[in-house]
Structure 1
Amino acid sequence: MTKIKLALCQMNVIDDKEANLKKATSMITDSANKNADFIVLPEMFNCPYSNDKFIEYGENEDESITLKAISELASENNVYILAGSIPEYENDNLYNTSYLFDRTGSVIAKHRKMHLFDIDVKDKISFKESDVLTAGDNVTVAETEFGKVGIGICYDVRFPELARLMVEDGALILFYPGAFNMTTGPAHWELLFRSRSLDNQAFCIGVAPALNMDASYHSYGHSIVTNPWGEVISQADEKEDIIFCEIDLSEIKKVREELPLLKNKRKDLYEVRLL
């Protein structure tokens, strides 16, 4: 199968886990009813984006009500679901973690955000995830019926080395659930997704929460799909919505034959590799 119908669930996340799960359930069910193959939720879809809420909403994987609900939805609707990310506890560490479920409801991949969002843009925004979160240290590529897909989370998209490692491991689609803000979003969100697609001649998918002005952190929204030529083929605005987009993986082979960037790398001079 080369064609995939994606559903990007740009949901409005509030300070109520039960309500967030109900909203995610509604959007997933609606997406499945409209024949989506692969449904994607935003970063921290069950939790407000703030360090104190990460601690409060954190769940242990084995006892997670959030993951149990998403697993059941994937199985009941016979769809793949990338469960954006949630705050995940393991022992004394708290991670920003994304889970990929297959059509049977089984977890087939798990990515812990590798690059923590520690920034200070003068007079605009300051945030330091490392105050409460621990960074992951694994590159995440999963095998699906469509081929391999890579998973990063938000700030991970800014690091081209990670995208290249995933593509060199065979990833055809790079998923980045994210929550850029109203400072970095207008400046960099679209540019970064187009760049990662162009650099790697792959599809890139970004799914964000909707803008909620009542929250302490204002998400830019603008969930996006970019193609191997570096073009935007679908993009939301800031409001809550489900964006449906069909992609054709055969475009990757065509673009890579016409403009063989990956073949033309100077492997005799440089490489990107894990230490």
Structure 2
Amino acid sequence: MSIFKAAAIQMRSGTEPRRNAADMEAMVREAAAKGATYVQTPEMTGALVRDKDARATAFTTEEKDVVVATAARLASELGIYLHIGSTAILRTDGKLANRALLFGPDGKLLASYDKIHMFDVDLDNGESWRESAAYEAGASATIADLDIARLGFAVCYDLRFPQLFRAEALAGADVLTVPAAFTRQTGEAHWHILLRARAIENGAFVVAAAQGGKHEDGRETYGHSLIVDPWGRIIAEADHDEPGVVIAEIDTALSAQARKKIPNLKNAREFAVNHVARLKPALRRAAS
């Protein structure tokens, strides 16, 4: 069990990775100066780019990526765990991954996770997204054992798939992470509810750094970066969509306490689903 300060960095990433990396650095330094030893940035920290040709210019491999290099340097210099919530990474097969990366206090890459669930949706008012047209989905969950906590990874739309978080909690994760770029429309409706639900269901802290505001590529994101405790209480929030830093103290003993009070992870049972077909009632014969 351990106690540490966690920070969620809220950004408004534009289309230029170097400028976004500089904005990220300033806020990571602010978080570290306030005592945070685990710092999380939002989904697509490096850039938010809708245009296909512009994506090809903006994104590159891990070895050449400016956000990756900046994060490794900052983690080492500040002696923190720095979690890039995600950034677009060019894979060896030429496809893009929506990839989270965690760097340790020595600057080395400790873990990575490729977003599993692609945001392919058609919303109200003509808002439509096809993430699978640009990115290749991941195929496995990731757990990272740190000296401060056991971390479970997710990215944005993964939030709507509770089985991912349940699997990570069953594997011992006491801090679940949900860096995101929730749209304004879906964020206003579901963001707080879903994050609190994942915390309650799994008796775990949830740290969710978000993108916020009107971006250069035209999209609008909801902001409201949150840190939620294992009882579902919001213990830190950016109550707006402006860039900024929120910090909260995390005591992993509270996760163990919540799971002892309500041991639903242990009490879960396997079950079958019985499908009872609806039978058409027999027609009554008319009296003769």
TM-score computed with the length of structure 1 as normaliser:
0.93
The residue aligned with 2:285 is none
Distance 2:251 2:151 in 1: 14
Query: How far does residue 16 in structure 1 lie from its aligned partner after superposition?
Result: 2.1
Alignment of 1:244-255 (within 5 A): 244-255=247-258
The residue aligned with 1:208 is 210
* Inter-CA distance 238–208: structure 2 relative to 1 (3 Å threshold): same
Give the alignment partner of residue 196 of structure 1, picking from 188, 195, 198. Answer: 198
Query: How far does residue 61 in structure 1 lie from its aligned partner after superposition?
Result: 1.4
The residue aligned with 1:76 is 77
Distance 2:35 2:207 in 1: 18
The reply to whether residue 23 of structure 1 matches residue 26 of structure 2 is: no
Distance 1:168 1:101 in 2: 24
The reply to whether residue 256 of structure 1 matches residue 244 of structure 2 is: no
The residue aligned with 2:6 is 6
Between the two proteins, the alignment pairs up a number of residues equal to: 270
Query: How far does residue 102 in structure 1 lie from its aligned partner after superposition?
Result: 0.8
**Structure 1 residue identity aligned to 2:7:** A
Structure 1 gap segments, 5+ residues each: 271-275
The 8 Å contact of residues 49 and 217 in structure 1, kept in 2 or not, is answered as no
Give the alignment partner of residue 241 of structure 1, picking from 240, 244, 247. Answer: 244
Distance 1:116 1:187 in 2: 19
SS in 2 for 1:108: strand
Which runs of at least 4 in structure 1 moved beyond 4 Å after TM superposition? 267-270
SS in 2 for 1:76: helix
The residue aligned with 1:111 is 113
The 8 Å contact of residues 98 and 110 in structure 1, kept in 2 or not, is answered as yes
Q: Which has the larger radius of gyration?
A: 2
1:74-109 alpha-carbon deviations (Å, 9 max, x no partner) = 000000000121111112211100100111111111
Distance 1:255 1:18 in 2: 42
Distance 1:179 1:106 in 2: 26
Query: How far does residue 263 in structure 1 lie from its aligned partner after superposition?
Result: 1.8
The reply to whether residue 61 of structure 1 matches residue 86 of structure 2 is: no
* Inter-CA distance 54–214: structure 2 relative to 1 (3 Å threshold): closer
* Inter-CA distance 54–166: structure 2 relative to 1 (3 Å threshold): farther
Give the alignment partner of residue 135 of structure 2, picking from 126, 133, 136. Answer: 133
The reply to whether residue 161 of structure 1 matches residue 163 of structure 2 is: yes
* Inter-CA distance 208–96: structure 2 relative to 1 (3 Å threshold): same
Alignment of 1:225-240 (within 5 A): 225-236=227-238, 237-240=240-243
**Structure 1 residue identity aligned to 2:63:** D
**Structure 1 residue identity aligned to 2:241:** E
The residue aligned with 2:221 is 219
The 8 Å contact of residues 95 and 136 in structure 2, kept in 1 or not, is answered as yes
* Inter-CA distance 150–72: structure 2 relative to 1 (3 Å threshold): same
* Inter-CA distance 104–125: structure 2 relative to 1 (3 Å threshold): same
Backbone CA RMSD of aligned residues = 1.6
Alignment of 1:176-187 (within 5 A): 176-187=178-189
Distance 1:228 1:55 in 2: 40
Aligned-residue identity in percent: 31
The residue aligned with 2:282 is none
Query: How far does residue 233 in structure 1 lie from its aligned partner after superposition?
Result: 1.5
The residue aligned with 1:273 is none
Query: How far does residue 212 in structure 1 lie from its aligned partner after superposition?
Result: 2.4
Distance 1:26 1:94 in 2: 27
Distance 1:86 1:268 in 2: 39
**Structure 1 residue identity aligned to 2:207:** I
The 8 Å contact of residues 120 and 131 in structure 2, kept in 1 or not, is answered as yes
Distance 1:60 1:215 in 2: 22
Query: How far does residue 215 in structure 1 lie from its aligned partner after superposition?
Result: 4.1
**Structure 2 residue identity aligned to 1:13:** S
Query: How far does residue 54 in structure 1 lie from its aligned partner after superposition?
Result: 3.7
TM-score computed with the length of structure 2 as normaliser:
0.89
The residue aligned with 1:42 is 42
* Inter-CA distance 114–51: structure 2 relative to 1 (3 Å threshold): farther
The 8 Å contact of residues 125 and 183 in structure 1, kept in 2 or not, is answered as no
**Structure 2 residue identity aligned to 1:46:** G
Distance 1:57 1:141 in 2: 29
